[in-house]
C-alpha cells in the first residue's frame, strides 16, 4: 500500500485558509469603518515607503467587489496547498508573498498595488507546475483541475485591463514556477509496492500461494500444508485370537516426516 501521509486530512487544511480569509475581511472592515488610510499601504514601486506593501498588500482591497472576487479562489487554492503540500505550505505562502511582492515593487508602474490576487497567482502557478513535475497521478489531476478552473487567468498577466495590477499577477506567476522548481524534490509519491522491490520472490508471496500452477484458486491451504510432509504408511498385523489365526486385526499407522 502506498504512503499517503501527505494526503491525510487535518483541521489545518480548512482552518488555516479560513483564518487567513477572516483576517483579510477584518482588515477590510477596519479600512471601511475606521481607517481609510489603510487603502494606501500597498506596494508603491521603487519607493522605500512602498516596501511595506510587500507584506501588507495581500490584506488590502479597494472595494467589496475586489475582495469578493479574491476570497473564493484564495480559500480553494489554500486548502489544496495545505492538503497536498502540507510540509511546505507555509513556506510557499510566506515566501510567495515576499517574492511576488518584491517583483511587483521592481517592475510595477508608479501606482498603489493592492489585493491578494498576486498570492492567488502564486498558488495557481505553484500547484500547476508542481503537479506536472511530480508525475503523481493525484497531483497531475489537481494540475488539470487548476487549468480548468483558473486557466483563463493567464491573460491577466498582460496589461489588457486598466486599473488591474498585471505586474502583481506576473510576479505571482513567476514566483509559483520558481517555487515548483525549488521544491521539485519535495514530492508526495507513494512508496514502492512489494512486487516492485528487487528482492521480491513470487514463490514467497502469501497471496500467490492461493493459486495452483494452472491458475486455479485454492480456498484453503491446510490440505496443501499437510502434503508438504512425506508420509510412510505402516500396517501392523496382529492376530485377534491365537486359537483362530484367520481372525486378524489390521492397525493403520501414519508416520509424518518433515
Sequence spans of domains, the chain? 9-182, 199-257
* pLDDT recorded at residue 138: 83
Among residues 64, 186, 171, the alpha carbon closest in space to that of 108 is found at 171
Phi, psi dihedral angles at 41 (to 5 degrees): -90, 30
What does 16-68 look like in DSSP terms, one character per residue? HHHHHHHHHHHHHHHHHHT-GGGGG-SB-TT-SGGGGHHHHGGG--SSHHHHH
- Cα 60 to Cα 28: distance, rounded to the nearest angstrom: 6
DSSP symbol at 190: P
* pLDDT recorded at residue 252: 53
Helix H segments across the chain?
11-33, 53-56, 64-84, 89-107, 117-134, 137-150, 166-182, 222-226
Among residues 119, 112, 118, the alpha carbon closest in space to that of 50 is found at 112
Task: List C-alpha distances in Å: 122 to 78, 192, 216.
Answer: 11, 32, 55
- Cα 97 to Cα 153: distance, rounded to the nearest angstrom: 18
* pLDDT recorded at residue 210: 58
Q: Which residues contact 255 (CB under 8 A, 6 or more apart)?
A: 231, 232, 233, 234
* pLDDT recorded at residue 193: 47
* pLDDT recorded at residue 253: 56
- Cα 179 to Cα 30: distance, rounded to the nearest angstrom: 33
DSSP symbol at 192: P
pTM over 0.85? The answer is: no
* pLDDT recorded at residue 11: 82
Q: Quick one: 9-182 is in which CATH superfamily? A: Rhomboid-like (1.20.1540.10)
Q: Which residues contact 29 (CB under 8 A, 6 or more apart)?
A: none
Cell of 5: 501521509
- Cα 190 to Cα 246: distance, rounded to the nearest angstrom: 75
- Cα 211 to Cα 188: distance, rounded to the nearest angstrom: 35
Please give the chain's pLDDT, 258 residues, in tens. 444 455 566 788 999 999 999 999 999 999 999 999 999 999 999 999 999 999 999 999 999 999 999 999 999 999 999 999 999 999 999 999 999 999 999 999 999 999 999 999 999 999 999 988 887 888 888 889 998 888 889 999 999 888 899 999 999 999 999 999 998 876 544 444 444 455 555 556 565 565 666 556 566 655 554 454 445 555 555 555 555 555 555 555 555 555
Amino acid at each position: 500500500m502506498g504512503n499517503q501521509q501527505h494526503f491525510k486530512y487535518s483541521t489545518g487544511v480548512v482552518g488555516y485558509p479560513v483564518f487567513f480569509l477572516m483576517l483579510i475581511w477584518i482588515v477590510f472592515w477596519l479600512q471601511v469603518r475606521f481607517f481609510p488610510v489603510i487603502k494606501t499601504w500597498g506596494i508603491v514601486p521603487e519607493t522605500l515607503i512602498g516596501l511595506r506593501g510587500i507584506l501588507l498588500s495581500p490584506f488590502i482591497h479597494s472595494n467589496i467587489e475586489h475582495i469578493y472576487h479574491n476570497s473564493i479562489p484564495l480559500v480553494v487554492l489554500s486548502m489544496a496547498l495545505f492538503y497536498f503540500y502540507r510540509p511546505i505550505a507555509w513556506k510557499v505562502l510566506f515566501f510567495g508573498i515576499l517574492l511576488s511582492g518584491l517583483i511587483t515593487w521592481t517592475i510595477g508602474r508608479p501606482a498603489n498595488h493592492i489585493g491578494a490576487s498576486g498570492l492567488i497567482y502564486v498558488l495557481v502557478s505553484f500547484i500547476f507546475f508542481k503537479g506536472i513535475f511530480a508525475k503523481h497521478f493525484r497531483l497531475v489531476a489537481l494540475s488539470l483541475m487548476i487549468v480548468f478552473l483558473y486557466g483563463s487567468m493567464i491573460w491577466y498577466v498582460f496589461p489588457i485591463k486598466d486599473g488591474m495590477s498585471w505586474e502583481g499577477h506576473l510576479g505571482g506567476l513567476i514566483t509559483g514556477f520558481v517555487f515548483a522548481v525549488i521544491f521539485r524534490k519535495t514530492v508526495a509519491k507513494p512508496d514502492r509496492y512489494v512486487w516492485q522491490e528487487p528482492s521480491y520472490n513470487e514463490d514467497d508471496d502469501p497471496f500467490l500461494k492461493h493459486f495452483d500452477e494452472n491458475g486455479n484458486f485454492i480456498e484453503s491451504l491446510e490440505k496443501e500444508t499437510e502434503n508438504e510432509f512425506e508420509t510412510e504408511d505402516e500396517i501392523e498385523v496382529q492376530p485377534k485370537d491365537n486359537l483362530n489365526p484367520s481372525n486378524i486385526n489390521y492397525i493403520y499407522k501414519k508416520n509424518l516426516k518433515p
